[in-house]
A and B are shown apart, each in its own frame.
Chain A
Amino acid sequence: EYKLPIKDEL
């Protein structure tokens, strides 16, 4: 299953 890249950067 494809997971979105985690958005922890600004």
Chain B
Amino acid sequence: MNFFRLTADLMHLLSIFVLLLKIQKTRSCSGISFKTQLLYAVVFVTRYLDLLKWISLYNTLMKIFFIASSIYILYLMKIKFRATYDPSQDTFRIEFLLGACLLLALVFNYTFTFIEVLWTFSIYLEAVAILPQLFMLSRTGEAETITTHYLFALGAYRGLYLLNWIWRFYTEHHIDWIVWVAGAIQTALYSDFFYIYYKKVLHGQKFELP
């Protein structure tokens, strides 16, 4: 564990708490893409098939939290606050993302086993899971401030992981190409968002696309 990775994981936790706060406080999931949240649930379930493999208490508890919270968010959006979800705003075709990630995982993986291919699939899928949410944002052209805080924490989490990988490469000679490439793409997808968040939200304005 190092500073960057711990901070990244805490940002990831924070992003989920901010999302839960947004839904509970406004009693609405408007502005949140159900498709993105569904993809995250798929990501966690397919990645943490090794849940019973012991690495540390920290590792196990975080895995349980990510799986449970992602499924709870699906419940909130699909059942508890269903009336506040507008599917006509959430029109990104996730079939293509799922298909492309599965194909990539079948071709580019470390070893061709069931668990390993699903793990690789989850890494690729996480990289692009935010696209339905960003697409929704670009369609509506604006977002509630708390939703942008959620997105910022989520993007910062991945950005910090890049620093963690650089750190681990120099201190432990840790190399993981699949995770590095997917993580770099995932962070890059946030660049436009980060720019507008910095220009507008951090200066006290509403998040609106130019």
Seen from chain A, the residues whose Cβ lies within 8 Å of a Cβ on chain B are 4-10
Contacts and interface: CB of A to CB of B under 8 A. Distances in A.
Q: How many B residues touch the partner, as a band?
A: 20 to 34
Contacts of B142: none
A10 B9 CA distance: 8
Contacts of B56: 8
Interface centre among B9, B50, B55, B111 (most CB of A within 10 A): B55
B119 A10 contact: no
B16 to A, nearest CB: 12
14 contacts: A5-B110, A5-B174, A5-B176, A6-B174, A7-B50, A7-B55, A7-B119, A8-B55, A8-B59, A9-B5, A9-B161, A9-B164, A10-B9, A10-B62
Given A10-B59, A10-B63, A4 B111 contact: yes
B163 interface: no
Given A10-B9, A10-B12, A5 B62 contact: no
Chain A at the B interface: mostly helix, strand, loop or mixed? loop
Nearest to B66: A10
Interface string B92-121: 000000000000000000110000100100
A9 B90 CA distance: 31
Interface in B3-38: 5, 9, 12
Nearest to A10: B62
A9 B164 CA distance: 10
B202 interface: no
A4 B179 CA distance: 12
> Which 9 interchain pairs have the tightest Cβ spacing?
A5-B176, A8-B55, A4-B110, A10-B62, A10-B9, A5-B175, A4-B111, A8-B59, A7-B50
B94 to A, nearest CB: 23
A9 B63 CA distance: 10
Interface string B171-194: 000111001000000000000000
